[in-house]
């Protein structure tokens, strides 16, 4: 894996309804969606950011949201036509799909437009939980969407599930995992529900399971997923048969990516520094000024922390070579690589002695992964 492997993130900022736990840049869709106008804005954005750059063809594309599946397949065909020449052959192209947006279950159309991986937002299979989470779908919608997608030829499907849901018992959380596994997905994202500031749940917090119950859910969940052949390769990501999400792996290995669409973030390594890019979040403002990109340079002292925050999410972390490559490329505060490594070692070595990090790779131990936040905090 080199940092020359670029990813492309494309954001779609609309949903049928806003879920009370969600702090993604998503807005309830009022009226009809002008897909042509949005695709034109995305392509103008793309051209403005790729003008005079040395970006290599994208190995991965992630169509995220919001709910990208509110757009019909021909909108994506149009988008990919505009990106012709920029996508690597066999690029992984993922689309997030909400099982509630039934009117766009044209999975045959999405597949023939070029999308080859789906991420379906199941969240739970329990009717009462789906209701509390404000979801617009039933468990049967997830099952139907999944089966239609398989029939349409999708052979790489992720299901998003959440746990530690309001008043959820361990048995209920395991039943959710079992129902997800029964569909035969290739990948599972199993997220602990977090209460994010400025969401409806932050204002009216639901009663969540106690910490001890959450640990019990996690221990049983890891065992159940492992028994079903799902290898945990990141804090919340589990893959069967090596079908890890290549797009997200690039984030965690601290690779570069271009972000287009309302509120999209990007990251690029220049000869002198690391830059983060950000687009206008408000859909209307974005549509009017899609070629506007804010660029901020990451302050050198923050780089090690940012690298650790990403790389240590991976169960295997990253190799020492990858660590040196990232540190060297980013020319930390104009120090030499040796000086940067020395700064890092002053934090890393005590963590090795405490049994929280490995010495052979820049990675946590199993114990360190359980205390990831405090390990990462040491580097920040």
Ligand X SMILES: C[S@@+](CC[C@H](N)C(=O)[O-])C[C@H]1O[C@@H](n2cnc3c(N)ncnc32)[C@H](O)[C@@H]1O
CB of 135 to ligand SF4, least distance (A): 7
Task: Give the SS3 label for residue 86.
Answer: coil
Helices (H), 94-167: 107-113, 127-132, 139-151
Site for ligand X in 222-251 (CB under 6 A): none
Pattern of binders to ligand SF4 over 21-60, x per CB under 6 A? -x-x-x----------------------------------
CB of 261 to ligand X, least distance (A): 12
Helices (H), 122-165: 127-132, 139-151
Site for ligand X in 112-151 (CB under 6 A): 121, 123
Task: Give the SS3 label for residue 250.
Answer: helix
> Whose CA is closest to 191, among 211, 165, 170?
165
DSSP letter (8 states) at residue 371: T
Pattern of binders to ligand X over 164-203, x per CB under 6 A? ---------------------------x-xx-x-------
Structural tokens at position 68 = 């990208």
Q: Site for ligand SF4 (CB under 6 A): how many residues?
A: 11
By the rule CB under 6 A, 13 interacts with ligand SF4: no
Spatial neighbors of 360 by CB under 8 A, at least 6 apart, are: 320
What's the number of CA atoms in the CB half-sphere (13 Å) around residue 86? Answer: 22
Which option in ligand SF4, ligand X, none does residue 18 bind, with CB closer than 5 to 8 A by kind?
ligand SF4
CB of 26 to ligand X, least distance (A): 7
By the rule CB under 6 A, 121 interacts with ligand SF4: yes
Structural tokens at position 161 = 């599930």
CB of 133 to ligand SF4, least distance (A): 8
Angstrom distance (rounded) from CA 35 to CA 78: 10
Q: Which residues bind ligand X (CB under 6 A)?
A: 15, 21-22, 24, 64-65, 67, 96, 98, 121, 123, 160, 162, 191, 193-194, 196
């Amino acid at each position: 894996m080199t940092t020359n492997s670029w990813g492309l993130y494309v954001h779609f900022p609309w949903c049928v309804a806003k879920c009370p736990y969600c702090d993604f840049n998503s807005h309830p869709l009022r009226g009809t969606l002008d897909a042509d106008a949005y695709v034109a804005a995305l392509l103008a954005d793309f051209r403005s950011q790729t003008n005079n750059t040395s970006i290599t063809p994208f190995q991965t594309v992630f169509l995220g949201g919001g709910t990208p599946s509110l757009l019909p397949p021909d909108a994506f065909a149009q988008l990919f036509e505009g990106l012709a020449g920029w996508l690597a052959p066999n690029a992984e192209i993922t689309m997030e799909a909400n099982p509630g947006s039934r009117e766009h279950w044209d999975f045959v159309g999405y597949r023939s437009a070029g999308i080859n991986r789906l991420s379906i937002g199941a969240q739970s299979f329990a009717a009462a939980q789906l209701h509390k989470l404000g979801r617009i779908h039933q468990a049967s919608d997830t099952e139907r969407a999944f089966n239609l997608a398989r029939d349409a030829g999708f052979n790489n499907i992720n299901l998003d599930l959440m746990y530690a849901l309001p008043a959820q018992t361990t048995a209920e959380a395991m039943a959710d995992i079992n129902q997800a596994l029964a569909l035969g997905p290739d990948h599972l994202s199993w997220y602990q529900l977090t209460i994010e500031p400025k969401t409806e749940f932050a204002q009216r917090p639901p009663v969540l399971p106690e910490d001890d119950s959450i640990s019990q859910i996690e221990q049983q969940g890891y065992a159940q997923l492992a028994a079903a052949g799902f290898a945990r390769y990141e804090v919340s990501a589990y893959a069967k048969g090596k079908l890890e999400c290549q797009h997200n792996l690039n984030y965690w290995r601290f690779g570069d990516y271009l972000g287009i669409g309302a509120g999209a973030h990007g990251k690029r390594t220049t000869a002198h520094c690391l830059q983060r890019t950000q687009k206008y979040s408000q859909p209307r403002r974005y549509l009017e000024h899609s070629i506007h990109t804010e660029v901020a340079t990451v302050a050198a002292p923050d780089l090690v922390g940012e690298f650790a925050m990403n790389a240590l999410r991976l169960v295997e972390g990253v190799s020492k070579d990858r660590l040196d490559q990232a540190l060297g490329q980013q020319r930390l505060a104009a120090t030499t690589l040796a000086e940067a490594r020395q700064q890092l070692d002053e934090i890393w070595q005590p963590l090795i002695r405490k049994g929280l990090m490995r010495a052979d790779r820049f990675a946590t131990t199993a114990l360190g992964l359980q205390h990831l936040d405090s390990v990462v905090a040491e580097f920040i």
